[in-house]
Structure 1
Amino acid sequence: MSSLSTTSIYRQPGFLPFITSRLFSFFASQIQAIVVAWQVYDMTHDPMTLAYVGLAQFIPMLFLLIPAGDLIDRFDRKKIVMASWAVQGLCSALLLVLSFYHLTNPNYFYAVLLLYGSARAFTGPALQSLLPQVVAREQLPAAIAANSMLMRVAAISGPVLGGGLYALGSGVATYSVCLASFSAAVLLIAFVPVLYAEKPEPKNQEIGAWQRFTAGIQFIRSRPIILGTISLDLFAVLLGGVVALLPIYAQDVLHTDSTGLGLLRSAMAVGEVAVGFYLSLYPFNQRVGMTMFIAVFIFGLANLVFAISTVFALSFIALVIAGAADMVSMYIRSSLVQFSTPDAMRGRVNAVNMLFIGSSNELGEFRAGSSAAWLGAVPTAVMGSLFTLGITAAWIWAFPSLRHVNKFEDATPEHKA
């Protein structure tokens, strides 16, 4: 694959405002996630409340992602991003009010998170569909790596700052920072020019809404490479993710405070940034299918070490390694999906992809929190890590076409075998 340098990516007219706006929004979402989880658990000390935090964000995404994908393919993707970020900023303002008046009923927080999840249903697929219109096709792998690396920078600083501010007793301050960041993101995305839009799919008035909604699902089902890629991420993270258990591990296993929780939440991002920076400079394009499987296997092993560790430093290092492996997997997964999808279908395909990602993240938080309430945090994390290793082995056997993918160019929109 011919690849351009990271410098040439940043010289693209729209990439800097695009990536900067994403930094602000992601920074805000990371701060908000850590503070909401800590606040709710601090109110109740009940692991099930962490499950409800994840479920409240996942339910609206479950119902809205597929129709959102259709809207993203039919209307201005940039305006959809702006509107969704504005709603997320409104959620930060509502959380600010709850903190200011010291309202401790977790149901109020769940209600805000339902609105927040509704907005996120539009944000993810719209941003993923907009990126190929901002940079040239041959720059996509390096742009994806640079984008992911910079998002991880926000993932490092966001939780640490959020945990630190909340440790000082200022929930109002943390949500004020979130509101300001979402507002900045809305303003910056307006300056992103759309340079590489392909000819849209012809509008057929005879095609019903349901046929449009399900077109992305049908497209993915007909391409085993994409189906295997996103379903591997779904089950590996759904069954093996430990992020939702971090507040329990911080308080009950590692015996640290909210600042320590922020460090743990940032640990995976440390590994992701290091690997993402390297990939943005030296994007690889050999044996990408098997490399992704190896990366997911390492992710499961690192989570297993974290699950049984009672030493903060070892737990931190294990999460760093898990993050590094996850970045390699995400780099390959995102590139394969982008190379395999025509522009007119990106919204619907990315919506289905985001549904898988949302299932693995938000629904995975519910799975982890509910399992921890029944079995305990440590058994839940151990079993989840073992499930990840088993799923990886099963997918290597079940998707031979994915295992044999060598270059990203092998996964074209026409490739079905």
Structure 2
Amino acid sequence: MATILPPDGDEPVMPESTPRAPSPLSFPDYRYYWAARFTAVMATIAMVVVIGYQLYDTARTDYGMSIRQASFQLGLLGLVQFIPLALLTPVAGWAADRFERRSVAIFSNLIDITIAATLGWFTWVGGLTLPLLFGLAALHGVARVFSGPAMSAIAPNIVPPAVLPRAIAMSSIAWQSASVIGPAVGGLIYAAHPTAVYIFAAILLAVSAFTISRVRPVLPPPVEVRRHPLREMLDGLKFVWIERFLLGTITLDLFAVILSGATAMLPVYARDILHVGSEGLGLLRAAPALGAAIVALGLSFRPIERNVGVKMLWAVVVFGLATVAFGLSTSLLLSLAMLVLLGAADMFSVFVRGTLIQLNTPDHMRGRVSAASGLAISASNELGEMRAGAMAAALGPVPAVVVGGAAAVGVTALWAWLFPELRRAKTFEPQFKPAE
């Protein structure tokens, strides 16, 4: 559900000050950063969409699996991407706080280029197998876990604090617009020639690596006392755990999306329910990002200022209800409309949650806390896919999506009761003084 946002600076900046601030794009380093994020997301999203479709199609065609059996394979695809995220997130957050952050991001791009080249070759020779697809999906999880914290920790060092609220929204536009274009273009290229989509992804990833290298060096912040790396890795998780506001904010997304994630079932809907093929799958994957991009664009011009906590909770409710409607739909147009609404609600929640989290994180822990937040986001996405795949194997894909969406609404009501701090967040002012 969630997309990873660039963090804010040390000093909180209220939204009313942003109209007087210059555009983030007036800073050359931010332009390079924006271009790097846009091209990398477009490449990886296009590649991931095609991997899911190829895995489902391979399971149905080459392995003779039923719809339910092949749906379960899609759930396993989410699981194998989550395992490296769960194991390496503390390491990735520590690396983002201890090494030159551009180098970490470029290293992640090189991993994904290797994946694209390998998949392109095996698609060309007709040698795709389920173990190969699972293995490369897991390797992509490794690239993601290092890229997220490093990229998130770069932004506060390349624009002034007064510009950061708009930089958050514009970074979201980069992510979401690439998430709109990537699946649609990837699906069309795959339909024209399956191998070409991986060539397309590799070129964009190379462009991303080059543009992030043009940003001035972003050195990790100095620390007064060096501690054991394992202790430093755990500090970010501990910081989130002891602060109820952060804990409630992050876990709301975690459990809501684990229960309601429908992304894993899109290849099933495209192939066997809506009967629209790989081109239709590209549209289905792009629709949530389209809704998210529209909301992100609006927030970049008119950021919300009041009752942010309650609005975040209602956005998650809308997300769950739109998921239910999508699950029941047998019309492509209605399905696309519900996915656009789902993505819009998701982006609204992501913007509020991401801003609140970043404003309450000290700079010297930003990489580790970003990694902890990223782990929750990835866990919700990947484990949500596993949940959907397992439930689809037992009940069928439609009940898996519908029940999950209804469960997300229930989780939101429960979290509003368990964490009243969320309801009481009236503005983006820090809810507590960040621990040093």
Q: TM-score per shorter chain, which class?
A: over 0.9
1:296 positional shift: 0.7
Query: Does the 8 A contact of 2:362 with 2:434 survive in 1?
Result: no
Q: 1:413 to 1:66 in 2, by over 3 A?
A: farther
> Distance between the aligned counterparts of 1:407 and 1:136, measured in 2?
21
The match for 1:400 is 420
Go from structure 1 to structure 2 and tell me whether the alpha carbon gap of 1:99 and 1:139 turns closer, same or farther (over 3 Å shift).
Answer: same
Q: CA deviation at 1:180?
A: 0.5
Superposed CA deviations along residues 57-107 of structure 1, whole A, max 9, x for unmatched, are: 111111001111112111111111111111111111111111111113111
Would the aligned equivalents of 2:102 and 2:213 in 1 still touch at CA under 8 Å? yes
Using the TM superposition, give the Cα deviation of residue 411 of structure 1 relative to its aligned residue in structure 2, in angstroms: 3.5
Structure-2 separation of matches of 1:39 and 1:6: 46
1:37 to 52, 60, 83: 52
Partner SS state of residue 429, structure 2: helix
Relative distance call for 1:12 and 1:5 in structure 2 (3 A) is: farther
- CA 1:389–1:343 in structure 2 vs 1: closer, same or farther (change >3 Å)? same
Decide which of 402, 405, 417 is 1:382's aligned counterpart: 402
The residue number in structure 2 matching 1:99 is 123
TM-score, structure 2 as length reference:
0.91
In 1, Cα distance between equivalents of 2:162 and 2:122:
47
Structure 2 residue 95 is matched with structure 1 residue 75: no
Cα separation, 1, equivalents of 2:434 and 2:22: 31
* Native 8 Å contact 1:339 1:412 kept in 2: no
Instruction: Tell me the alpha carbon deviations over residues 336-374 of structure 1, each in whole angstroms, 9 at most, x when there is no partner.
Output: 111111111011111111110110111211111121111
1:274-310 deviations in whole A, cap 9, x for unaligned? 1111111111221111111011111111111101111
Tell me which of 346, 349, 369 is aligned to 2:369: 349
Q: In structure 2, how many angstroms separate the alpha carbons of the residues matched to 1:194 and 1:337?
A: 25
CA contact (8 A) 1:200 1:343 kept: no
**Counterpart residue number, 1:117:** 141
Give the match's secondary structure for 1:285: coil
The equivalent position to 1:202 in structure 2, one of 224, 237, 248, is 224
1:192 aligns with 2:215: yes
Q: In 2, distance between residues paired with 1:24 and 1:228? A: 33
| 2: CA distance, partners of 1:159 / 1:10 | 26
Superposed displacement of residue 150, structure 1: 2.1
What is the alpha-carbon distance in structure 1 between the residues aligned to residue 30 and residue 21 of structure 2? 11
Match of 1:306 among 326, 335, 341: 326
Distance across 2 between alignment mates of 1:302 and 1:138: 36
Q: Which residue of 2 aligns with 1:283?
A: 303
Report the aligned-residue RMSD: 1.7
TM-superposed deviation, 1:141: 2.4
Equivalent in 31, 41, 46 of residue 26 of structure 1: 41
Aligned equivalent of 1:140 = 164
Amino acid at match of 2:223: E
My pick for the range that moved more, 407-416 or 319-328, is: 407-416
8 Å contact from structure 2 (residues 117, 199) kept in 1: yes
The yes-or-no answer on 1:244 pairing with 2:261 is: no
| Structure 2 counterpart of 1:14 | 29
How many residue pairs match? The answer is: 412
Structure 1 residues 155 and 109, CA gap change in structure 2 (3 angstroms): same
Q: Give the match for residue 214 of structure 1.
A: 234
> What amino acid does structure 1 have at the position aligned with 2:43?
A
Code of the aligned partner of 1:242 = A
* 2:385 alignment counterpart: 365
| Equivalent of residue 352 in structure 2, options 311, 315, 332 | 332
The structural deviation recorded for 1:230 is 1.0
TM-superposed CA distance for 1:229, in Å, is: 1.0
Question: Offset at 1:397?
Answer: 0.8
Report the counterpart of residue 178 of structure 1 in structure 2: 201
On the 8 A contact 1:341/1:412 being kept in 2, the answer is no
What percent of counterpart residues are identical? 38
User: d(CA) in 1 for partners of 2:331 and 2:21?
Assistant: 38
> Does the C-alpha gap of structure 1 residues 321 and 377 become closer, same or farther in structure 2, counting only changes over 3 Å?
same
Question: Structure 1 residue 404: deviation in Å?
Answer: 0.7
The aligned amino acid for 1:312 is: L
Please give the alpha-carbon distance, in whole angstroms, between the structure 1 residues aligned to 2:289 and 2:280: 15
Q: CA deviation at 1:269?
A: 1.0
Structure 1: which 5+ runs fail to align? Answer: none
TM-aligned CA deviation for residue 199 of structure 1: 4.8
Q: Structure 1 CA distance, aligned partners of 2:206 and 2:339?
A: 31
- Name the SS for the 2:23 alignment partner: helix
Give, in whole Å, the separation in 2 of the partners of 1:108 and 1:49: 13
Give the residue type in structure 2 aligned to 1:371: M
Contact 2:101–2:220, Cα closer than 8 Å, also in 1: no
SS of match in other structure, 1:372: helix
CA shift digits 1:13-58 (9 cap, x unpaired): 3111001010110000111011101111111121122112212211
Q: Secondary structure at the match of 2:18?
A: coil
SS of the equivalent of 2:195 reads helix
Matched, 1:270 2:290: yes
Matched residue, 2:3: none
